[in-house]
Structure 1
């Protein structure tokens, strides 16, 4: 399906995964005039453990999404919803009561889904490599894919990276984990603004911006209008790995340029996680970090988002590897 948006072309695809019956939603945006495709100007987004990429990176706020911004700068930009999220197929285990099945969509499954999307893009454009950007759990997915397939990645961007955890995960309510968990719209706002001083909350996240995001995100749920299902695989991974001192990937195995972007008010993935990842990027030819003041875990959906946009623009424009 192709839909023009002013000077931007939007195309949407359902691509096969490595599992029969599971298809992945992929969106592409680019300038209508773009005719030459290169690794340096091709990028794939993936989101975190609770919400889909399709309502995170292509959400128009003040008339422009991050995908729009990159497309208008001449990028061929994509996003993929991991299975179980957004518009991708939900595993059969998510159809019944959650405790009937073990947690679904663990990190290796998500890495394979990213691999399917990368292969789709590379084949479509005839490219050997592309740029990858992940947020939260998405940083683990993208970093693991990069360490496993360095020849397929040009540059890596990590927004609020996960690492070993010494504090409870905001996504883990404790108790026995089933296949999925229920996320409530009201609780989503409280989690977003956790730790933000009361006098800064509206300045960081205007009410209208939250409602725009919530309407888009919860509208995709079969539990509309104020609840959605999120796979619990990432929560089980947090217990088994991040909270148990066992990293899911080794940053030292990443051999491409890396940028970390982090908000100083992030309580989901505090600054010590970003510091730990940055310190271990010993094989990356370049490593950069930007810390954004008065920004949370969802910094690119807040009023300070242009600082993240500008940092990524500069990183992608820097000399290729």
Structure 2
């Protein structure tokens, strides 16, 4: 591993849905959490040790996804019989994930029932941060704890960081995997020509092409173990039955993130003030990431002037999606070490 350590509301109600199959040592719960917006519910999943009876802030983690794909099909996708969610939970943590509205198993706004050009971009950062706040409050009340750890990937880093600047008392530690910051290179999230609509569509082929962007040609064959891409794509595209019926089969993703990216990071303006982050923060990225290239984390790190114990780790031979690549355990280990520090 190459490591550069620049060593830097309305509380919703619960509607239970059937739980996943339980492992011998972990308990899994699934639920829908209501928001203040009529008809909008957020999908939430929890995994924890079966013998866990007491809950503490430093052992509680909430994960949120990026701009295009839902949470559970990466964070809780079993590859070689192990998901990152289970990796953390099996080490004594109460682990949660959520799908923002319009993604995965959460309710899709009514605009997604119409053609994309019929409405302006939906699910902006402000809306997404509101969904995160709803779920955070739900977990804090359910576990009777004052705060928890936040983990975001890609766009999720912007959302989790923004939430932290506004609610520092509710955050124990902040983990930003593939952090997004001011752009010097074009975004790989493309919405096509013309006026930006409510949502965009992505095919499996486009997803695979984006994944491999930036990987040296001689390294592409060994980047993803056999069947792992198909396992992820099958699980991810199945979360959008409407998109599956399109020709070609596609996944729909809200365009609020694209609009925000153009207005803020793409225009040289920060979306949030890093100096307002006052909790220990980890930035972790991979050298071949072209969605959130390492220069972003390297620029953001020194701006975290009030984050105690901040650090930055860069992982070798990985992309934006190292979470599901051959070197994924290097990501897991780096994040786990940071989480475990908080338990000492």
TM-score (norm 2): 0.91
Q: Which sections of structure 1, spanning at least 5 residues, go unmatched?
A: none
Which of 293, 296, 302 lines up with 1:270 in the alignment?
Answer: 293
Question: Is the aligned partner of 1:188 residue 2:211?
Answer: no
Equivalent residue number for residue 57 of structure 1: 75
Question: Is the aligned partner of 1:43 residue 2:66?
Answer: no
For 1:159-213, what per-residue CA distance to the aligned partner results, in whole angstroms no more than 9, with x for missing partners? Answer: 0111111222111244311000011111100000001112211322124110110
What is the Cα deviation at residue 12 of structure 1?
A: 0.3
SS across alignment from 1:77: strand
Equivalent residue number for residue 269 of structure 2: 246
For 1:59-111, what per-residue CA distance to the aligned partner results, in whole angstroms no more than 9, with x for missing partners? Answer: 00110101111111010000000000000000111111100000000001000
Structure 1 CA distance, aligned partners of 2:271 and 2:173?
20
Q: Check the 8 A contact 2:59/2:343 in 1, yes or no.
A: no
Equivalent residue number for residue 99 of structure 2: 81
Structure 2 CA distance, aligned partners of 1:113 and 1:31?
26
SS across alignment from 1:19: coil
Structure 1 CA distance, aligned partners of 2:86 and 2:281?
23
Structure 2 CA distance, aligned partners of 1:275 and 1:287?
12
Question: Is the aligned partner of 1:106 residue 2:124?
Answer: yes
Q: RMSD of the alignment, in Å?
A: 1.2
Structure 2 CA distance, aligned partners of 1:299 and 1:264?
10
Which of 187, 192, 197 lines up with 2:216 in the alignment?
Answer: 197
Q: Which sections of structure 2, spanning at least 5 residues, go unmatched?
A: 1-17
The aligned runs of 1:102-251 (5 Å cut-off) are: 102-172=120-190, 173-222=192-241, 223-224=243-244, 226-251=249-274
What is the Cα deviation at residue 320 of structure 1?
A: 5.9
Q: Check the 8 A contact 2:45/2:96 in 1, yes or no.
A: yes
Q: Check the 8 A contact 2:58/2:342 in 1, yes or no.
A: no
Structure 1 CA distance, aligned partners of 2:294 and 2:302?
12
SS across alignment from 1:37: coil
What is the Cα deviation at residue 289 of structure 1?
A: 1.2
Structure 1 CA distance, aligned partners of 2:148 and 2:309?
17
Question: Is the aligned partner of 1:286 residue 2:305?
Answer: no
Structure 1 CA distance, aligned partners of 2:87 and 2:78?
10
Q: Check the 8 A contact 2:26/2:90 in 1, yes or no.
A: yes
Structure 1 CA distance, aligned partners of 2:66 and 2:80?
23
Which of 42, 47, 50 lines up with 1:32 in the alignment?
Answer: 50
Equivalenced residue count is 321
TM-score (norm 1): 0.98
Q: Check the 8 A contact 1:18/1:112 in 2, yes or no.
A: no
Which of 269, 289, 306 lines up with 2:329 in the alignment?
Answer: 306
Structure 2 CA distance, aligned partners of 1:131 and 1:40?
7
Structure 2 CA distance, aligned partners of 1:297 and 1:195?
10
